[in-house]
Amino acid sequence: MGEEALLGVVSGKAVAAMTEEEAALELAHLAAEIERHDRAYFERDEPDISDAEYDSLRRLNAAIEARFPALARADSPSTRVGAAPSQKFAKVAHRVPMLSLGNIFSEEEAREFLDRIRRFLKLSAEAALEMTAEPKIDGLGLSLRYEAGRFAVAATRGDGVEGENVTPNALTVADIPQRLKGGPRGAFEVRGEVYMTHADFSALNEQQAAAGERAFANPRNAAAGSLRQLNPAITASRPLRFFAYSWGEAEALPGATQFDVVQAFKAWGFQVNPLMRLCRSADELLAAYREIEAQRATLGYDIDGVVYKVNDLRLQERLGFVSRSPRWAAAHKFAAEQATTILKAIDIQVGRTGALTPVAKLEPVTVGGVVVQNATLHNEDEIARKDVRVGDWVRVQRAGDVIPQILGHLPERRPSGAVPFQFPTECPVCGSAAVREAHPKTGKLDAVRRCTGGLICPAQAVERLRHFVSRNAFDIEGLGEKQIAAFFEEGRIRTPADIFTLAERDKTSLKKLKDKDGWGARSAANLFKAIEERRNISLPRFIYALGVRHIGETTAKLLAKTFRTFAAAQAALEAAADPDSEAYQHLISVDGIGEAVAQAGAQFFAEGHNREAVARLLEQVRVEDYAEERARDSAVAGLRVVFTGALERMTRDEAKAMAERLGAHVAGAVSKTTDYVIAGADAGSKLKKAQSLGVKVLTEDEWLAMTRTVSVED
């Protein structure tokens, strides 16, 4: 695979040719884009891009971070797992985080994965390294807690730290035993995947059609949607299955290897995948991959790859974790499935930030058992690069999701009248100019064209209001997409502050809400009550709710943690309007807040109508100052550290893993915010920079002595 195919292309430029400024902007864009897709997949069970396309976004992010490690953001997708749990369910804190797996896509990458493990463990090429290989089930991750052998709690993955409590629903799944046969007496969390077979999926969709209900797109969505029902009776009516393959908290393990523990699950009464294999070399591992791939079409359920795991649990412990995934496991993904169809039209949609996004409308085609008819085309550069035109026959691919990726057109089947697509220079909603911003330093055009209409553009205004009341922002129950759109159209709500004056205005309005179609006195009162309950809001939620470009949930939390009050955060962002100012330099020196965030915040508050809207909103709500959560009981928790040079007691990777387990933040570059630099032999530029900035430098022994100092929790 060539570099362009491996790393992706951003606005026509390969990662290898990027400047540092371009890389920072692209990382900010990727963080926001991937976070949006995570919410669609994990919260709504409605992904809007293919697995392959999503994987390419993550690989592009990883490639840029690999080339520019100092630019890695605090909200980097490489550090996130899943999405926040739905507010519809009670939350369950995972005692052991439910992490995701890193992906590999070729035999070459599989061999490199094994080589990395050997290097980390300092194993020779001849040393034994036993691995397991098993199908990667395309379903919904679930953790099952048993106490004294009895089923107690079921929780979804959520964001990896907190999941949704779906215990009543899980009780209805036949494959989940309520009491373990000869299982452990203490607490034990069995983890696995809820899924639906192809036959059951087809039967369910027939039932949906007969009842006049919407059909599910694929078995994964059907399984996830069925398990996450508020009414367990609905879940009970759905044919769900469960494979067990891992564990969380465990007072004692029933084996010393991955394979032995999974076989114990089988003895306890769980279904485990019969295709799990033990492998003792890279060749055996790849043979298992090919064997499982060859059976994919006849299994009767969806799989999208093969999972490799180090078998010896002691080696798993030594390897530990990096970012969002374990070092000792990886998912070898299958190649995406492809088909050809006709591009009927290219529609332009306007998002809440004014971004004009082209969406391909396709002649419906079945790809891998799923009917698809929409695809994103990303931006105008992507359309030009692939030279796709309305009327073209196009190649599309998917890997388990509804919306495919367009790979290109078939030149030999292009109709004679097909003309290049002209991307609009005016907003299709409000008619305002649609422009591509140029970076002030590099002159590089933004990949996205945006409407300049701001709050006068109905598309943006409605989307901004929808974002404002969304689950992870103000979370106002009863103000969904339809209600926001209707209230905006009627003029009841045009700005966020209008939401909190709605009840008072309704008292004197000739058009009472309770008299409106679909509303009554009780439903109107419930809405007013829900709004009233949100007059107090946490600082991270408030910042996120404003919808500032490049400021997602993670960045909002970082700004809140840094500035503590909204007044301080706003003042810092306003002062950052001058790139030469001390305020700007201070802001971008904060780990995770780069130029893109600083500029976006400054531009937001430079607009008078935005400042006015925020001021009006603050008259209606109270923003709580940020309260830091208590750090774990480690003397180094919360410290920002950098490792440099060759260490003697352990490899640098092991040192970083240990620091992260103890709650320290490990950075790749030295800055004013760095607390300690741990320098080994032959330390170079990082040591010099630490000395120039006055950052405390520790030897390896001094660092290890510090990590052994444990504070006592209250």
Tell me which residues are annotated as active site: 136
Asked if residues 25 and 596 have their Cβ atoms less than 8 Å apart, the reply is yes
> CB-side exposure of 142: number of CA atoms within 13 Å?
28
How far, CA to CA in Å, does 603 sit from each of 430, 549, 557, 573, 609?
Answer: 22, 9, 20, 9, 12
Q: Whole-angstrom distance between the N-terminal and C-terminal Cα of the chain?
A: 55
Query: Cα–Cα distances in Å, from 541 out to 418, 545, 560?
Result: 48, 6, 9
CA neighbor of 194 nearest in space, from 173, 171, 178, 165: 173
Q: Which spans in 536-581 are helix H?
A: 539-545, 553-563, 566-575
Nearest to 277 by CA among 308, 299, 301: 308
Cα–Cα distance between 562 and 589 in angstroms, integer?
11
Q: Where are the alpha helices (DSSP H) in 295-372?
A: 313-319
Give one DSSP letter per residue of 40-82, joined into a string. IIIISS--SS-HHHHHHHHHHHHHHHHH-GGG--TT-GGG--S
d(CA 566, CA 538): 10
List all residues 6 or more positions away from 609 whose beta carbon is below 8 Å from its beta carbon.
454, 455
Q: CA–CA separation, 572 vs 270, rounded Å?
A: 55
Nearest CA-CA partner of 370 in 203, 194, 216, 204: 216
Distance CA 160, CA 181 (A): 29
Q: What are phi and psi of 182, to 5 degrees?
A: 65, 25
Helices (H), 333-400: 380-386
Contacts of 702 (CB under 8 A, 6+ apart): none
Which residue(s) pair with 445 in the sheet? 438
3-state class percentages of the chain: helix first, strand second, coil last, to nearest 5? 40, 20, 40
* Amino acid making up residue 246: S
The identity of residue 145, as a single letter, is R
Decide: helix, strand or coil at residue 241: strand
**Token duo for residue 428:** 């299709």
